Structure 1
Amino acid sequence: MSNKLEFKNAMLRMLRARIPFISIKSIERSRVLEVIQELAEEINIPMYVHSLSHGMADIKTKKTVNDDRSVVGGIDFAVQNISQRQNLTFIFTEVSNIEDDNIVSRHIYDCVVQAIERGGCICMISTKSVWSQLQRLGMTVTLDPPNEEEMLSIVKDCVLPYQNAFPIEWGEKDFKMAAAILANMTRIEAENVLATQMAKGSLTKDDISKLSQEKDKLFSDISGLEKVKIHPEMLSVGGLDGLQQWLESQKQLLTADLKSRKLRPPRGVLLVGVPGCGKSLSAKFIAATWNLPLYRLDFAAIQGMYVGQSENRLKEAFESADNASPCILWIDEIEKGLAANANDSSGVTTRMIGQFLFWLQESTKKVFVVATANDVTKLPPELLRKGRFDELFFVDLPEEQERADIISLYIEKNVLPHPSAETLEKLISISSGFAGSDLEGAVRDVAIQAVINGDECVDDALYENCFRNIVPLSKTSPERIEAIRSWGKERALPASGLSWGSSYDMVAARRTIII
């Protein structure tokens, strides 16, 4: 059932019950009035709508009945008529200063009290909260932006009338994909995006991805989140067979109709492993592969100095992500934001953990979370239990063949002369225990010398010297790396898709190459 239909049924019951005060929460006044106008025809009761541009008008005939455009004038008109006639309904579309106890809210309160005696009804459309004393006289109903079901109808109504005017390549599957992308936008926003695409005189299957880009522009500066630009051509990916196969299945679930089986959309993945092995870049890879916008949640930026500020900011960030769905939400080094802290006497971290877990469990929006962690031991155990994230993967240090591939990829990326086969074998041996970032750093040092002294200085000796100058984390902190790997073997799936069984210098399987 669409939210619009639920809203209409709720309003119908309230109007028939003659609830004296109805607070309607919505950012789409036109959709609300459209539904109320339909109800006015169905139940045949007099309804009047007030706006600052037209004053008070009959909702069915559009005829102005009171020229006073001010809110106070509209309320006075409602009070006067409610005292003379029964079962009148008045809808106010633009009322400010109703959150607190003030002259306007008390004026409306008195009007509602009179409506109780005469079977009248006062409706207010607003996005703000209502003064508690006033709200207790009535009920609240919400009209959210169109969901996928309603958006599908909006998309078809916008596109199909033009099917004889210019080429339209979309089939039923494409319409459903467009509806999934545009869901949670307002109707006018979705119609504007579609009209922009159709303005070129055709509608092709390639335009589906452009819808996501246009929606992304509307949410490019949303509260609590940082928009991350993605350059797919800069991503070179190899390995991660197990993770990639799992992601492919999740992508299908992200676009499939799951309502019939009562399933929620895929919630996300937690990537753990050795620092510098490409966990963070995996988020960009997923967003690029799925052609979805990527937003980064920074817990440090959310922290506030006042009581409740951090929790409110986190709530706003999650609401923003829900509105931007479908999208990828990247939480880098999640342990730094949600680590259990014994010295946290204020309880802020505990409340933020609870808020995050609640959203992760209850949100039904198509927001796919990609969280990365280097030290999972700092995370609260309730975050790691089955059902929070859809899966937990471990990204390990690259093996011999992987190191060979990574070195070659970075050499090609930096447009460098290749070393001899014998030297390449030496580099593979020297780089035992290197993370992907260590290999990148070694090749970058070679590239820097090439820029300074020219390509003629790049020889086998330079490659070998640059690689020997790198001291990886696996050698400076071997205990830390071994602890991370031991934890991953016991609790996570290998990103390679292969079973655990040997150390990183003995496994011949491919795992991860991301540059």
Structure 2
Amino acid sequence: MANYGESRLDLESYLTARVPVIGVRTIEQRRALRLVKEVAEQPKRAAQPFWIYTRATGLRDLRTNSTVLDDRSLTGAMDYMAAQFGARQLATVILVDPDGLDSDTPFTRHVAELARLADTNAGSIVLITDNPIWSGLQRLGMSLQLDLPDQDEMYAIISDFLTDHRGVVPIAWTQDDARRASEFLQGVTEGEAVNLMATIVAKGSVEPDDVLVLARSKDRIFSDLAGLERLSLKAADYSVGGLSSLRDWLARKHRLMHADLRATGLRPPRGVLLVGVPGCGKSLSAKAVAQQWQLPLYRLDMASIHGKYLGESESRMREALATADRVAPCILWIDEIEKGLAGGNDQSGVPQRVLGQFLFWLQESESRAFVVATANDVRSLPPELLRKGRFDELFFVDLPDGQDRKEIIEMYYRRYVKAEPDPDQVERLVDISEGFAGADIESALHDVGAEVLLNGGAEALHPTFVLQTFANTTPLSRTNPEQVDDIRTWGRERAVPAGRQATTPYSGGAPSRRVVFLGD
């Protein structure tokens, strides 16, 4: 697909060569009409007639907009075209979005006959449409596809809009802010970009923070997102306990995500693959990244990608990834990615083809869609997915060590109990919770919070109840120690630790126990 400048050069060459049928495929009708008019108004074409037909205005002169024919029907316009093509040379007619161009119908055959007639006197028919053109008609000429505005054109659109409004409202954007906005608005039409900018101006000023507001507002123009689910974040999704190495790494990537990379040769961050023990914060990390980076969060549902018909799964994956490119910048969360891409024993070849599409997109896409993929069953992951260069990094999320458990306990205690935890009690809870995942700690303190609500406040909470709740919680590391040990062995050898480099060893084979605390 070509940008505006390339499309203009193509159209100029086709009209100079007097190609009888020129198809212009685009979803931006106004932009395509501006393109055609710019080419028609070149001095070297001053003597060549250009007419345009639309359903609303009928047949008019392209340059002067004066009415050519009182009959506004398409039939009347085509009769006029036949007369002009037979009597004049170098005539050009533009048909805007006519119905039924995509199949062999009497209408398309009529247009083909007009094209052959035009060809005898060096005439041309330009078809502006967002639908495919019947092959029998298209073979009579050439086609071009006008893509959505690229970054440079989007920058020009934003700059022109800001210039028009300087002196009307205070505008605090620098050239760099406009550049960042142009990157964020990649994937939208010119009209959509102007509408988004207008909503910013409508509040009375344009501030530097509005660049991120613009990025968040962009996804509102997409209503039916194939294969993607737009997730709304809750306050509880904003923070993650522990995982200090992962959080530091994400902070560096955040700076790159919003940096101007045009002159560096670098591409935007691609994403991260999180593998590890279930319940240790992998999925929560995707939500926290979206909130901290102030970007919309989309979930790619691998279950909805796979269809029962031949080629359906591949088509859905292609459409979902194309949509992710359009809504970028965003966080694209793929939970339990191994369930959608693992298929070594599948004889149909569908998982392998879906995987190939995904890997190609990871490698080639230049959009600012940051992927956070999570996996529990690490051994079923295809080796192609783990190769360096697919994701920016592969992190292993282990059971939290003592310091991380302390941070997680304090965080959930404040959230559910609505009070500051006693330091001595926290230290005892850290000892009791050895082998707990973050989800186990949250579950225990959620029960404590429910007890607080039922008994009238944190003042009535007896310390032994909290200790008993923790002691009577049985984590996955005790109910299924073999699975946890298997995951930990794989992750420690093949991935970067998401927590601190040195972790406290844990013996996963300890039996489940029930402890009763009678008092301090």
Q: What amino acid does structure 1 have at the position aligned with 2:393?
A: E
What residue is the counterpart of 2:39 in the other structure? Answer: 39
What residue is the counterpart of 1:16 in the other structure? Answer: 16
Contiguous gaps of at least 5 residues in structure 1: 506-515
For 1:452 and 1:252, how far apart are their aligned partners in 2?
45
| Greater Cα offset, 155-164 or 418-427 | 418-427
State the structure with bigger RCO (CA 8 A, min sep 6), 1 or 2. 1
For 1:187 and 1:388, how far apart are their aligned partners in 2?
32
What residue is the counterpart of 2:361 in the other structure? Answer: 359
Shift of 1:242: 2.9
Q: How does 1:430-445 map to 2 (within 5 A)?
A: 430-445=432-447
For 1:307 and 1:161, how far apart are their aligned partners in 2?
52
What residue is the counterpart of 2:399 in the other structure? Answer: 397
Q: How does 1:99-498 map to 2 (within 5 A)?
A: 99-231=102-234, 234-342=237-345, 344-416=346-418, 420-455=422-457, 457-496=460-499, 498=500
For 2:476 and 2:154, how far apart are their aligned partners in 1?
51
Shift of 1:263: 3.5
For 2:72 and 2:253, how far apart are their aligned partners in 1?
53
Shift of 1:61: 1.3
User: Secondary structure of 1:168's match?
Assistant: coil
Shift of 1:92: 1.3
Q: Is residue 28 of structure 2 the alignment partner of residue 25 of structure 1?
A: no
Are the equivalent residues in 2 in contact too, given 1:3–1:147 (CA < 8 A)?
yes
| Greater Cα offset, 44-53 or 260-269 | 260-269
Alpha-carbon RMSD across the aligned residues, in angstroms, is 2.3
| Greater Cα offset, 378-387 or 67-76 | 67-76
For each residue in 1:142-181, what CA deviation from the matched residue of structure 2 results, as whole angstroms up to 9, or x when unmatched? 2122222111111111112332233211111211122222
Q: TM-score, normalised by structure 2?
A: 0.91
Are the equivalent residues in 1 in contact too, given 2:50–2:93 (CA < 8 A)?
yes
What residue is the counterpart of 2:511 in the other structure? Answer: none
Shift of 1:363: 2.0
Q: What amino acid does structure 2 have at the position aligned with 1:379?
A: L
Contiguous gaps of at least 5 residues in structure 2: 508-520
User: Secondary structure of 1:414's match?
Assistant: helix
Shift of 1:422: 4.3
For 2:259 and 2:238, how far apart are their aligned partners in 1?
27
For 1:440 and 1:446, how far apart are their aligned partners in 2?
10
For each residue in 1:357-396, what CA deviation from the matched residue of structure 2 results, as whole angstroms up to 9, or x when unmatched? 2222222222111111111221221122122212111111
Identity of aligned residues (%): 47
Are the equivalent residues in 2 in contact too, given 1:394–1:495 (CA < 8 A)?
yes
User: Secondary structure of 2:101's match?
Assistant: coil
For each residue in 1:426-449, what CA deviation from the matched residue of structure 2 results, as whole angstroms up to 9, or x when unmatched? 321221111100000011111122
Shift of 1:195: 1.7
For 2:21 and 2:258, how far apart are their aligned partners in 1?
40
Q: What amino acid does structure 2 have at the position aligned with 1:428?
A: V
User: Secondary structure of 2:417's match?
Assistant: coil
Seen in structure 2, the aligned counterparts of structure 1 residues 21 and 152 have a Cα distance that, compared at 3 Å, is same
Shift of 1:334: 0.7
Are the equivalent residues in 2 in contact too, given 1:232–1:288 (CA < 8 A)?
no
Q: How does 1:499-514 map to 2 (within 5 A)?
A: 499=501, 503=505
For 2:158 and 2:56, how far apart are their aligned partners in 1?
30
For 1:214 and 1:423, how far apart are their aligned partners in 2?
45
Q: What amino acid does structure 2 have at the position aligned with 1:103?
A: P
| Greater Cα offset, 412-421 or 313-322 | 412-421
Seen in structure 2, the aligned counterparts of structure 1 residues 248 and 234 have a Cα distance that, compared at 3 Å, is closer
Q: TM-score, normalised by structure 1?
A: 0.91
What residue is the counterpart of 2:513 in the other structure? Answer: none
For 1:160 and 1:504, how far apart are their aligned partners in 2?
63
For each residue in 1:210-239, what CA deviation from the matched residue of structure 2 results, as whole angstroms up to 9, or x when unmatched? 212321211254222111112457522344
Seen in structure 2, the aligned counterparts of structure 1 residues 69 and 386 have a Cα distance that, compared at 3 Å, is farther
For 1:249 and 1:67, how far apart are their aligned partners in 2?
65
Shift of 1:502: 6.1
Q: Is residue 100 of structure 2 the alignment partner of residue 97 of structure 1?
A: yes
For 1:73 and 1:244, how far apart are their aligned partners in 2?
67
For 1:376 and 1:79, how far apart are their aligned partners in 2?
67
For 2:205 and 2:260, how far apart are their aligned partners in 1?
28
| Greater Cα offset, 47-56 or 96-105 | 96-105
Are the equivalent residues in 2 in contact too, given 1:184–1:323 (CA < 8 A)?
yes
What residue is the counterpart of 1:509 in the other structure? Answer: none
Seen in structure 2, the aligned counterparts of structure 1 residues 426 and 477 have a Cα distance that, compared at 3 Å, is same
For each residue in 1:427-483, what CA deviation from the matched residue of structure 2 results, as whole angstroms up to 9, or x when unmatched? 212211111000000111111222223335521221122112211111111121122
| Greater Cα offset, 371-380 or 409-418 | 409-418
Are the equivalent residues in 1 in contact too, given 2:245–2:498 (CA < 8 A)?
yes
Shift of 1:261: 4.3
For each residue in 1:43-98, what CA deviation from the matched residue of structure 2 results, as whole angstroms up to 9, or x when unmatched? 41322221001112221111222334333443333233222222222221121222
User: Secondary structure of 2:374's match?
Assistant: strand
Are the equivalent residues in 1 in contact too, given 2:94–2:128 (CA < 8 A)?
yes
Seen in structure 2, the aligned counterparts of structure 1 residues 71 and 154 have a Cα distance that, compared at 3 Å, is same
Q: How does 1:38-57 map to 2 (within 5 A)?
A: 38-42=38-42, 43-44=44-45, 45-57=48-60
For each residue in 1:89-113, what CA deviation from the matched residue of structure 2 results, as whole angstroms up to 9, or x when unmatched? 2221121222222222222222223
Seen in structure 2, the aligned counterparts of structure 1 residues 263 and 115 have a Cα distance that, compared at 3 Å, is farther
Q: Is residue 72 of structure 2 the alignment partner of residue 69 of structure 1?
A: yes
Q: What amino acid does structure 2 have at the position aligned with 1:38?
A: E
User: Secondary structure of 2:274's match?
Assistant: strand
User: Secondary structure of 2:41's match?
Assistant: helix
How many residue pairs match? The answer is: 503
